[in-house]
Amino acid sequence: MPEYDSFCRQFSWENEKDSLEGLPGGGINIAHEAVDRHVNSGKGNTIAIRWIRKDRSFDDLTYADLKVQTSRFANVLEKLNVAKGESVFSLAGRIPSLYIAALGTLKAGAVFCPMFSVFGPEPAFQRLGKGKAKVLVTTTGLYEKKIKQLLDRLPLLQYILLTDAKQDIDDKVLSLSTLMKQASDDYVIKNTQQEDPALLHFTSGTTGMPKGALHVHQAVLTHYVTGKYVLDLRPGDVFWCTADPGWVTGTSYGIIAPLVNGVTNIVDEEEFDATRWYSILEEHYVNVWYTAPTAIRRLMRLDFKPTDRYDLSNLRLIHSVGEPLQADEVIWGEKTFGRPICDNWWQTETGGIMISNYATMEVRPGSMGKPLPGIEAAIGEVEAEAIRLLTKPGEPGHLLLKTGWPSMFRAYLDEEERYKKCFKGAWYITGDLAKKDADGYFWFVGRADDIIKTSGHMVGPFEVESTLMEHPAVAEAAIIGKPDPIIGALVKAFVVLDSGYEANEKTRLDIKGFSRKKLGPAVAPKEITFIDSLPKTKSGKILRRLLKARELGLPEGDTSTLE
Ligand code: ATP
Ligand code: MG
């Protein structure tokens, strides 16, 4: 990205759209922009997806291969009478069929919904039911273990396509490879329009029951723009987003954004493993790496400097999303890789990155950065009648986005009222609280649901947790508000200790004293409990509501996304 301020002034979505091709009839289709467009313009031989198996051997799919495979998949759906707007789900690990199914579904004008393969039968049932799944792509093992038992309860689910079955099991449970072999390589992409539904993503369930956020084909413009200007994707780049497509990051940036930008996208079948990850960065010459704070924290705990063991000289840019990235984590990146880790903020609902640090802008450690060009973000109070914008630098309030960006969610499935409540006037209310400093940088305060009112103070978890983590004994921390008859709520901290520290009274007092000195007695935690690990979602977010429910002996609520 050129200089931020001047670029924002000249930016227009319309101009950016000119870089995309669109469909002959005036429509737009995500898969066309991500795959076929590149083949049509002579880039068919570029590697689109490099799939790394668990045993570290790998397979490449060029853009030309991907065009053929996704067209075949679209033809398979056609044969099964899947109509425009009907939904196709997946329950699979990070295997090529998942990526082919996602893009093939989009070609066919159907709606794709990826699920985490680790979901048990109940969470899978909830999502398949809510999303009215007509087709499910999965493996034989996952089908036997999790889906078979649900079939009676899912009358709308007509076909299950097994990626690894050699033969059909019955009329409903079919061999995907057989169908793919029979299908033609040619497919005329459905003439999807800007507002046609394309993707269904369930939120992480951090604050409650996961919500189904619906996105449209026009979202591809955000994927393109953020891939280009935030992730700085350039021709010839190798890009790796470590997220699973079951989480929105793993689809928007693990599938669409890199392909729309024509680069090589790394897909690793295996879960987090520090040395494996560094080896992948080295062996596959990764230029741009997109990961999450939980992974960064785990890497930080290793007792060696990665650049002493691995050649990471190709790595140009590192980004992080999902949870607040602490200042010391940004600085660790600088010391370790010679470049800060760039934090960015967005949600399932926004479909793409909305606020970010950029390679060409001064990174302020601990800040989420500045709005994407074309995005207007503000801080405000949500009042009964209207939004009141807060313009004084540093004043905390609701983080708001001006509506109308291409990847804005268009519905919460079956929850129209809830959807409507997210908007007031021209603003979308994100549900997060933040501050904006005098230079226009945004700073995360906490989720509106997690804010603690204690003795008349409003305490944001982020501030307290990051202070606790500055103490050498603290590896991770989460705070909750524990109801208290006198002060409203008491700030309670759950702390995971770093190795070498003992969970005893001395450590507790030490951390308490430290946080009192830094935060003042009103905000510092009054209670500290040591815990082996914090409950997190599968995408690495701390489930504070679960800590609170356990503390108060209340029902745990939805735990489908619990790691
Ligand atoms: P649910 O809405 O079901 O409670 P969720 O909000 O965690 O789950 P996601 O859409 O996956 O589901 O996560 C988006 C949220 O993650 C944001 O609203 C914000 O609270 C948090 N988040 C994401 N990126 C950042 C970041 N860079 N800094 C701070 N918080 C972040
Ligand atoms: Mg949310």
> What distance in Å separates the CA atoms of residue 558 and residue 446, rounded to the nearest whole number?
21
- Indicate which atom in ligand 1 lies nearest the CA of residue 344: 27
**149-171 confidence digits (pLDDT tens):** 999 999 999 999 999 999 999 99
Average pLDDT of the chain to the nearest whole number: 96
In single-letter form, the type of residue at position 188 comes to V
H helix or E strand, kind and range, residue 240: strand 238-241
211 DSSP 8-state letter: -
H helix or E strand, kind and range, residue 279: helix 274-283
Average pLDDT over residues 497-503: 93
Residue 462, pLDDT above cutoff 90 = no
pLDDT given for residue 560 in this prediction:
85
pLDDT given for residue 1 in this prediction:
85
Residue 367, pLDDT above cutoff 90 = yes
Place of tokens 């983080």: 399
Average pLDDT over residues 447-465: 87
Q: Give residue limits of the domains in the chain.
A: 4-436, 451-552
DSSP letter for each residue of 64-91: HHHHHHHHHHHHHHHHTTPPTT-EEEEE
Sort 504 into a burial class: Cβ within 10 Å, 0-12 / 13-18 / 19+.
exposed
To test the pocket of ligand 1, the residue of 321, 541, 560 to mutate (highest count of ligand atoms within 8 Å of its CB) is 541
Residue 558, pLDDT above cutoff 90 = no
Contact 487, 558 (CB under 8 A): no
**212-225 confidence digits (pLDDT tens):** 999 999 999 999 99
Give the residue among 293, 221, 281, 285 at the shortest CA–CA distance from 252.
221
In single-letter form, the type of residue at position 382 comes to V
Average pLDDT over residues 248-277: 97
H helix or E strand, kind and range, residue 530: strand 527-530
* Percent of the chain scoring above 70 in pLDDT: 100
To test the pocket of ligand 1, the residue of 201, 206, 230, 561 to mutate (highest count of ligand atoms within 8 Å of its CB) is 206
Tell me how far apart the terminal alpha carbons of the chain are, to the nearest angstrom: 36
pLDDT given for residue 209 in this prediction:
86
> What distance in Å separates the CA atoms of residue 174 and residue 550, rounded to the nearest whole number?
43
The least confident of 89-93, 209-213, 474-478, 555-559 is 555-559
In single-letter form, the type of residue at position 545 comes to R
Partners of residue 130 on adjacent β-strands? none
To test the pocket of ligand 1, the residue of 251, 325, 347, 367 to mutate (highest count of ligand atoms within 8 Å of its CB) is 347
> What distance in Å separates the CA atoms of residue 127 and residue 123, rounded to the nearest whole number?
6
Neighbouring CB atoms inside 10 A of 395's CB total 12
Average pLDDT over residues 59-85: 98
Cβ of 203 less than 6 Å from ligand 1? yes
The CATH number of domain 451-552, selected from 3.90.260.10, 3.40.50.20, 3.50.30.50, 3.30.300.30: 3.30.300.30
b/e map 290-310, b = 16+ CB within 10 Å? bbbbbbbbebeeeeeebeeeb
What is the distance in A from the centroid of ligand 2 to the CA of 556? Answer: 18
Cβ of 322 less than 6 Å from ligand 1? yes
> What distance in Å separates the CA atoms of residue 261 and residue 315, rounded to the nearest whole number?
18
Cβ of 323 less than 6 Å from ligand 1? yes
Q: What is the CATH number of domain 4-436?
A: 3.40.50.12780
Neighbouring CB atoms inside 10 A of 231's CB total 28
Residue 304's contacts (CB-CB under 8 Å, 6 or more residues apart) are none
Cα distances (angstroms) measured from residue 206 to each of 57, 211, 556: 35, 11, 12
* Percent of the chain scoring above 90 in pLDDT: 89
Cα distances (angstroms) measured from residue 294 to each of 251, 322, 391, 405, 498: 19, 9, 33, 29, 15
Cβ of 206 less than 6 Å from ligand 1? yes
pLDDT given for residue 2 in this prediction:
86
Alpha-helix runs per DSSP H in 26-164: 30-31, 37-40, 63-79, 96-107, 121-130, 140-142
The least confident of 96-100, 204-208, 331-335, 373-377 is 204-208
Task: Please give the order of strands across the beta sheet that includes 488-497.
Answer: 474-484, 488-497, 527-530
In single-letter form, the type of residue at position 475 comes to A
Average pLDDT over residues 544-552: 94
What is the distance in A from the centroid of ligand 2 to the CA of 417? Answer: 16
Average pLDDT over residues 158-185: 98
Q: Whose CA is nearest to atom 15 of ligand 1?
A: 347
Give the residue among 274, 305, 244 at the shortest CA–CA distance from 117.
244
